[in-house]
Chain A
Amino acid sequence: MNFPVRLAFRHVFSNKTRNGLTILAITIAVFLLCFLLAVVRGIDAGVRSASSTRLVTQSAVSLFVTLPMSYRPKIDAQEAVTVASEFRWFGGYYQDPSNFFPQFAVNKDRFVDMYVKDFEIIEGPNGITGPGARDAVKKAFATEKRAAIIGMGLRDDEKYNFQIGDTVPIIPAIYQRADGGAWDYVIVGIFKPLKARIPDKIMYFRSDYLNDSIESGEAFGEVAAGVYYVNIDQGSQAEMIATSIDQDFLNGPQRTQTVTEAAFASFFVSAIGNLPLFLGTVGGAVLFSIFFSVVNAMLIAGRQRLKEAGILQALGFPPITSCLLLIIEGLAVALIGGALGLALAISTQDLVVLNFGDSIRNYEIDSGLILLAIGTSSVLGITAGLCAGIPFLRYRPTEALRSLG
């Protein structure tokens, strides 16, 4: 190993406490950076995978005000609208509140046609699989009032293990039943999501099952549609159709606000406090403060090198040597910390997906993030080394040798 590198590494390992703490700080910072960016990108991927040929019509007042059932035929009648379905949040759980997954009440005749591009039906009634499964499931969903279509995650997770034909009791959080019991659903279809936005632990069931039960007094609540999802023709003007739908309901009974699914998805994200911005800010702040602690550590190292700089210059080394030594030292410390942080992020990847997988889809420490982490560490180390090293460029050896010699 050539001389400056060897000397710089001696310094790295001769200040074990200080450099150890700096390395630890960088390890944590790089881990957090990778974690937060992977989360943000996971959320982003969901927003971006939202369809631009789908609109969401919601109440102009608030997401939590439901639209009436009567709106669907009117929306359907719009030119360029291919299929529309109501979507209503159910919010129940299976056996225990910790077993939570989203359930939506959707239109029995429209829903399956609506999500052709978004998921692939992989299993239907009587063991049917393959291309014929979609039609079989569509038929079964239209026939059986308690029918439900689920994502494959609910089949594959041992906690649920829902299979075709199973009757699954879901305990309501909002729509209580008069008998105080659970809602029973019969699984008629299982799908595999094709888009990042759609979780694989989710259940869709018939809105008329919910509404008819409420109407007959078997359950409590209000007969309503929730919001509407509206598929439009490829290549049509989403903005114009949205405006046109909203115009139809200007005089009530509920005014609407129609947006693209992508806008709706990002609104949904921002509704929980603009998570990407928040996480990005946290990551930035962590990095920023770590940067100063690394610079500070290197400045301390620099002050301890005054005498060494004087000696090296007396021996005939140019002033830039001491600057270079500090840059190499900073880079070494930062890269060791960065590598450890990265290793931590990569090795906990499966753990994170296992624990937060439902809320953070697509969490992955990919090559882009790895490069970013290495790049960030390098810049951090070099900059800190430069901060400490630059004063040595104009450093007079006689001063060091006199004051310390």
Chain B
Amino acid sequence: MSQDSYIQLKSVSKKYSRGGEDLIVLDQLDLNIPDGDYAALMGPSGSGKTTILNLVGGLDVPDSGTVTVAETEVSSIPTRQLPAWRARHVGFVFQSFNLLPVLTAHENVMLPLQLTPLSAAERKKQADFALEIVGLSDRAGHRPSQLSGGQEQRVAIARAIATDPDVIIADEPTGDLDRNSADEILELLNRLNEELGKTILMVTHDPAAASNARRILKLDKGHLVSDEINRQASGQTQGEA
């Protein structure tokens, strides 16, 4: 595998059958994202963006082709072992935050740490640290219903990075937020990429959001129609990756 392809989709096809009819979502798609990159994936609704994220995150498997993340061929991991792989390598951030409402912010961040071999004290330390990174240490004991949307998403990001995964997958992370909150989240993602070296793959409709990424991918009808380096963003951190 080439050194600089951290996330690699090779000739990936994915179709869904709906009411007897096959819907081809991805058609022999190739995609390469280097280690430490921050890529924004854009495209019209229904073009297969979420499908790509699910394949990269090991939530779904392709019909054909291979998906490789950090030198592991995800598409050939047995279904039963996929959850454990996800726990170690991927952090998910969703549009609608997806915190568990019955747990506090701190407990939500603790969730993925339950799957690690860390001691209880180490887990707590990791969770504290993750909340500190997103600037919400003072809200640790709050339930999601007691937080603003922006704060909820920051907790979700803390949860995604708590186990220190290689890859952050974000599906329209600012889609449900106002401009100010969205900018805070984008700022946070920039820091995760630049300071912590996380490889980020983010789906977004928002050009302002995309302009934060180093690379902008455009998808249409299951095909990659454009793959450009974003000079504006990558210029700021030249030579970092």
Q: Which residues of A contact B (CB under 8 A)?
A: 3, 6-7, 10-11, 14, 307-308, 310-319, 396-398, 401-402, 404-405
Contact = CB atoms under 8 A, between A and B. Distances in A.
A316 B86 CA distance: 5
Interface string B46-88: 0000100010010110000000000000000000100111111
Contacts of A316: 83-88, 90, 112, 115
A7 B59 contact: no
Given A7-B103, A401-B59, A311 B115 contact: no
B114 interface: yes
A392 to B, nearest CB: 13
Contacts of B177: none
Interface in B101-128: 101-103, 107, 110-112, 114-115
A7 B86 CA distance: 21
13 contacts: A3-B110, A10-B102, A310-B98, A313-B83, A315-B86, A315-B159, A316-B83, A316-B85, A317-B115, A396-B60, A398-B60, A404-B96, A405-B96
A317 B83 contact: yes
B50 A315 contact: no
Contacts of B23: none
Contacts of B98: 307, 310-311, 314, 401, 405
A401 B54 CA distance: 10
B120 to A, nearest CB: 9
In the A-B complex, the 5 residue pairs with the smallest Cβ-Cβ separation, listed nearest first, are A316-B87, A10-B102, A316-B86, A3-B114, A315-B112
Nearest to B165: A316
A405 B87 contact: no
Interface string B165-182: 000000100000000000
B100 interface: yes
B6 interface: no
Contacts of B85: 316
B38 interface: no
B83 A402 contact: no
Contact of A398 (B54, B110, B111): B54
B28 interface: no
A307 B50 CA distance: 17
Contacts of A307: 98
Given A308-B100, A405-B95, 12 more contacts: A3-B110, A14-B102, A310-B98, A313-B59, A314-B86, A314-B98, A315-B159, A317-B83, A319-B83, A401-B98, A404-B96, A405-B94
Contact of B102 (A3, A11, A401): A11
Contacts of B171: 405
Contact of B94 (A3, A10, A317, A401): A401
A6 B90 CA distance: 25
A315 B59 contact: no
**B interface, how many residues as a size bin?**
20 to 34
Nearest to B88: A316
Contacts of A310: 98
A71 to B, nearest CB: 77
Contacts, number: 63
Contacts of B114: 3
A404 B100 CA distance: 13
Given A315-B159, A316-B84, A397 B102 contact: no
A314 B59 contact: yes
A312 B112 CA distance: 8
A140 to B, nearest CB: 76
Contacts of A401: 59, 94, 98
Nearest to B54: A398
A318 B211 CA distance: 36
A14 B54 CA distance: 31
A311 B100 contact: yes
A316 B91 CA distance: 9
Contacts of B94: 401, 405
Nearest to A2: B114
A249 B102 CA distance: 80
A260 to B, nearest CB: 63
A70 B144 CA distance: 90
Contacts of B112: 315-316
B102 A7 contact: yes
A3 B113 CA distance: 10
Interface in B145-172: 159, 171
Contacts of B80: 318
Given A3-B111, A7-B103, A11-B102, A318 B83 contact: yes
Contacts of B96: 404-405
B87 A315 contact: yes
A318 B81 CA distance: 9
B81 to A, nearest CB: 10
B59 A402 contact: no
B193 to A, nearest CB: 21
A10 B103 contact: yes
Contacts of A10: 102-103
Given A3-B111, A7-B100, A314 B50 contact: no
A67 to B, nearest CB: 74
A21 B151 CA distance: 35
Nearest to A312: B111
Contacts of A11: 102
B54 to A, nearest CB: 5
Given A405-B94, A405-B96, A314 B57 contact: yes
A167 to B, nearest CB: 74
